[in-house]
């Protein structure tokens, strides 16, 4: 699977370490879309748009790709990524302290449920809220999480795509 990365200056150092981790430890093909230098005056929309546009093109071509974008809060980055057709970007800045369980008693994972329920193909990390180890663990779990394709979730995703 190909994974596109992008971040603003607030996520620059951690993004660079995640690129290496996903490529060297998890074995995925990666493309770093920037920021390529740590510039506190950078404008993240153009940087994030580059990764999201590439992911959108891959979605249209039927390729299995993902994107990981990052910033201080991850909020703006998720907003930008979600502007592109076929991109479903979820925001993550840590697990809530109060774990939830579903009707069957299964503990819900807020991160992997973005894949299982929404087939999220992009993940926005709020790196001011995550340590490097937490970010690595989150990326590992998210990239490994499948989309089971349950009919009700697929139906809802199709409805999202029609909006």
Element (H, E) at 123: strand 122-126
Residues sharing a CB contact under 8 Å with residue 96, sequence separation 6 or more, in sequence order: 110
Q: Are 67 and 122 in contact (CB under 8 A)?
A: yes
Query: Is 153 in the active site?
Result: no
3-state SS, one letter per residue, for 36-66? CCCCCCCCHHHHHHHHHHHHHHHHHCCCCEE
Find the catalytic residue in 29, 77, 116, 153: 77
Q: Residue 119 and residue 112: Cα distance in Å, rounded?
A: 10
Active-site hit among 31, 116, 117, 153: 117
Asked if residues 53 and 69 have their Cβ atoms less than 8 Å apart, the reply is no
Active site residue 77: yes
Longest Cα–Cα distance in the chain: 49
Catalytic center residues: 77, 117
């Amino acid at each position: 699977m190909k994974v596109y990365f992008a971040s603003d200056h607030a996520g620059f150092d951690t993004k660079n370490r995640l690129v290496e981790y996903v490529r060297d430890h998890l074995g995925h093909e990666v493309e770093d879309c920037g920021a390529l230098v740590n510039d506190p005056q950078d404008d993240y929309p153009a940087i994030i748009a580059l990764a999201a546009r590439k992911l959108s093109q891959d979605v249209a071509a039927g390729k299995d790709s993902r994107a990981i974008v990052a910033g201080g809060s991850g909020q703006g980055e998720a907003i930008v990524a979600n502007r592109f057709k076929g991109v479903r970007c979820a925001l993550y800045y840590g697990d809530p302290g109060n774990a939830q369980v579903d009707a069957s008693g299964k503990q819900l994972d807020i991160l992997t449920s973005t894949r299982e329920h929404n087939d999220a193909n992009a993940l926005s990390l709020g790196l001011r809220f995550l340590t490097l180890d937490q970010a690595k663990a989150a990326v590992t779990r998210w990239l490994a999480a499948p989309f089971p394709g349950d009919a009700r979730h697929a139906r809802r995703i199709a409805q999202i795509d029609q909006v």
